[in-house]
Amino acid sequence: MEDEQKIKILLVDDEVKFLESIARRLELRNFEVTTATSGEESIAAAEKYLFDVAILDLQMPGLDGAQVLTRLKERHKYLEIIMLTGHATVDSAVECTKLGAFQYLEKPYAFDKLLESIKDAYKARLKRKFEHNEKRYEEIQKLSLGSSPFGILKALARLDNEDK
């Protein structure tokens, strides 16, 4: 199934053995996985590549998972983020959800539950992007009916800037 689109995952955890293990398991399930061992490294990877889903550890040295979540959501509005942590608390779950996390899972985790969460996050990403594009097409259609060519170009430029 080489022509099938792989879900692109950014996997972030400072525990290298855990990171390598889960990355290998996900790759065996035909996901495209990029790993990072720090918040800073994950943000740099997200600037370089487009990801569908990010899986973040909460407690890491330097930028923690909540800080990375905030930065990734600011720059990548369709990226869905799953928090996967061994230090779960009700407060951190509420905070991460408010910051835009799609799901909050505890370690140790059930691999099947993680796979289900990734697929659900991917579906949510596609749905949000489709709805946004549909709204954008409607706006473009309205513009094309009642504006001058220059007015259409200016409006398209505005719409394009809103997408960034």
pLDDT in tens, the chain (164 residues): 444 579 999 999 999 999 999 999 999 999 999 999 999 999 999 999 999 999 999 989 899 999 999 999 999 989 999 998 887 777 888 888 898 999 998 888 899 999 999 999 999 999 988 888 788 778 777 777 776 777 777 777 776 666 55
Residues 78 and 136 in one domain: no
Residues 154 and 89 in one domain: no
Q: How many structural domains compose the chain?
A: 2
Output b/e per residue, 124-152; b: 16+ Cβ within 10 A.
ebeeeeeeeeeeeeeeeeebeeeeeeeee
Structure tokens at 94: 């509420």
Note the pTM of the prediction, 2 decimals.
0.80
Whether 98 is in a domain gets the answer: yes
**Domain extent for 108:** 8-127
